[in-house]
Structure 1
Amino acid sequence: MKTIIRLELKKNKISTYIIADIIIAITMLGFLFLFAYAPLIEPGDKDMAIFSGYNNLIPLFDVFNMAVFCVMSSVMYSKFVIEDYSGKRPILLFSYPVSRKKVVLSKLFIVCGFTVISMFINNFIIFLIFGITENFIHLVGKNFTFHIILQIAENTIIMSIIAANIGIIAVGAGFIKKSVPTTIVSAVLLASLMCNIVVNASINKVAIYVLTVIMVIIGIVCSGFLIKKINIMEV
C-alpha cells in the first residue's frame, strides 16, 4: 500500500497542490482581514454583526475555507480518479500486479488525507498570523487567547472532515459519467448546501457533530460504491 501511495504521489505531482495550498492560504488570509474589518466600516449596521467577535468570525471563515477546499478536493479527485479511469488509461492501471481495490483506496487516502491535513495547517497558520497582528491592528478588539486557539482547532477539524467527504461524494457522482465537470460542479453544489446548513447550525455543537458523522457515513458509502464500480470495470 505504501509503495502504491508513493507511486501515485510521483505520478500526480503532489507539489502542484502544495503550491495551490500556499496560494489559497495567502488569499484566505486577506479574506480574514476583510471579514474582521467589515464591522468597522459601518459600526451601526446590524448586518455586519455576523463578522464581529471571534465567536462569529471563526465559524464563518471556517465555512468559507471549507468550500474552497471542497473544490480543491474535487479537482484532485478529478485528476487522481476520473482521468485515470477514463478512456484507455484503465488498461495500464489494471495491469499492475495489485488489486484494484488497493489502488483506489490509495487514491482516496491521498486526496482525503491531503485535504484534511492541508486545511488544518492552512487555518492554523492563517489564524496564528491574524492573532499576532491583532496585537498591533486591533480589528476584533479581543485578546487572542488559548481558548480561541482550541475553538479554531475544533472547528477546523470538523470542517476539514466535512470537506474531505464532500470530495468523495462528488467524485462518486462524477465517476458515473466519467466527467470532470460533473465532479467539480457536484462539489460546488454540495459545498454551497453544506455552508448554509453549517452556518444555521453553528450555535448547536451537537447538530454539527451529528452532521459530521452523517457526512462520514455517506463518504464511506460513496467510497464503497466507487470501489465496486472499478472492480467490475471492463477494458
Structure 2
Amino acid sequence: MIKLINLEIKKFKLIKYWKGVLGANLGFVIFIGMVYFLNKVEEEIPFENFEMASTIISAVVSATFIIFASVILAKLVIDEYKNKSIDLMFTYPISRKKIMSAKLIIVMVFTFMTVLFSTLFLNGLVYIMDVTFDILPGDISIQELINSVWKSFFIAFAAAGLSLIPLLIGMLRKSSSATIVSSIFLVTLTSSVSNNFTFSSVMTVSISLALLGIIIGWLSIRNVEKTDL
C-alpha cells in the first residue's frame, strides 16, 4: 500500500500542492494581522479570549483545506474516470479497491496534516502576538494551550473524514466541479462558528463526522471491482 501511495504522489506530482498550503497559511497570517490592526485603530478587542480566537482559526483552516482536499480528490479520482486514464491503472495486477483506497488515504492524510499543523501554527502565532502586543484580555493559561492542542487533533481528524464526503457526489455526477461545490456546501454546514462552538470542536461529534466521512468514502468505491463508475 505504501508503494502504491508513493506511486500516486509521484504520478500526480502532489508535492507541488504544499506550495498552496504555505500560501494559505501566509494568507491566514495576513488575515490575523489585519484583524488585529483594524481593531486596534478602532480601539476594539479583536477576540474576546483565546478560546474564541482558536475556534475561529480552526473553523477557517478546516474549511479551507477540506475544499483544498476536494480539488486533489477530483484530480486523483474524478478526472481519472473522465479521461479514462484510470482504465490503464486498473490493468495492473492490483485490486481496484486497493488502488482507490490508496487515493483516499492520500486525501485523508493530506487533510489531517494540513489542518493540524496549520491550526497549531496559527494558535501559536496568536499566543506569541498576545505575549508581545497584548491582543487578548487577560493572560492565556497553560491549560488553555493544552486544550487547544487536543481540540486541534480532533478537528483535524474530523476534517480528514469529511474530506471524503464530496467524492460521493462527484462519482454520482462524474464531475470535478460537483465535487468541489459539494465540499463548499459541506464546510458551510460544519465550519460555521456560533458562541465559540463548531460541530467538529466537540470530541464525540468530531469522531462521528470522521467516521461518517470514511463510511461515505467506502460507499463511493465499494462497487469499483464490478464496474467503472
User: TM-score w.r.t. structure 2 length?
Assistant: 0.88
Give the aligned partner of residue 186 of structure 1: 182
Give the aligned partner of residue 75 of structure 1: 71
1:95 to 91, 99, 105: 91
- Mapped contact 1:32–1:61 kept (Cα < 8 A): no
CA distance in 1, matches of 2:5, 2:82: 20
2:2 maps to 1:2: yes
**Superposition deviation, residue 200 in structure 1:** 5.4
One-letter amino acid of the structure 1 residue matched with residue 144 of structure 2: I
2:147 maps to 1:151: yes
Give the aligned partner of residue 61 of structure 1: 57
2:212 maps to 1:222: no
Give CA deviations for 1:3-29 in whole Å, capped at 9, x if unaligned.
Answer: 101101101112211111111111112
**Superposition deviation, residue 141 in structure 1:** 4.2
Unaligned runs of 5+ in 2: none
Aligned length: 229
Give the aligned partner of residue 16 of structure 1: 16
One-letter amino acid of the structure 1 residue matched with residue 10 of structure 2: K
CA distance in 2, matches of 1:26, 1:200: 27
CA distance in 2, matches of 1:10, 1:69: 21
One-letter amino acid of the structure 1 residue matched with residue 194 of structure 2: V
2:110 maps to 1:118: no
Give the aligned partner of residue 203 of structure 2: 209
Distance 1:201 1:229, change over 3 A: farther
Give the aligned partner of residue 199 of structure 1: 194
Give CA deviations for 1:37-74 in whole Å, capped at 9, x if unaligned.
Answer: 56545457xxx77x321121111121111111111111
CA distance in 1, matches of 2:140, 2:212: 36
Unaligned runs of 5+ in 1: none
CA distance in 1, matches of 2:33, 2:61: 14
CA distance in 1, matches of 2:43, 2:16: 42
Please list, as runs of the form range in 1=range in 2, the aligned pairs for 1:119-138 lying within 5 A after superposition.
119-138=115-134
Distance 1:175 1:204, change over 3 A: closer
User: TM-score w.r.t. structure 1 length?
Assistant: 0.86
More helix as a share of residues: 1
- Mapped contact 1:36–1:57 kept (Cα < 8 A): no
**Superposition deviation, residue 142 in structure 1:** 3.8
Distance 1:31 1:103, change over 3 A: same
**Superposition deviation, residue 232 in structure 1:** 2.3
- Mapped contact 1:59–1:155 kept (Cα < 8 A): no
2:167 to 152, 168, 171: 171
CA distance in 1, matches of 2:195, 2:139: 26
CA distance in 2, matches of 1:214, 1:172: 18
SS at 1:83 equivalent: helix
Distance 1:204 1:8, change over 3 A: closer
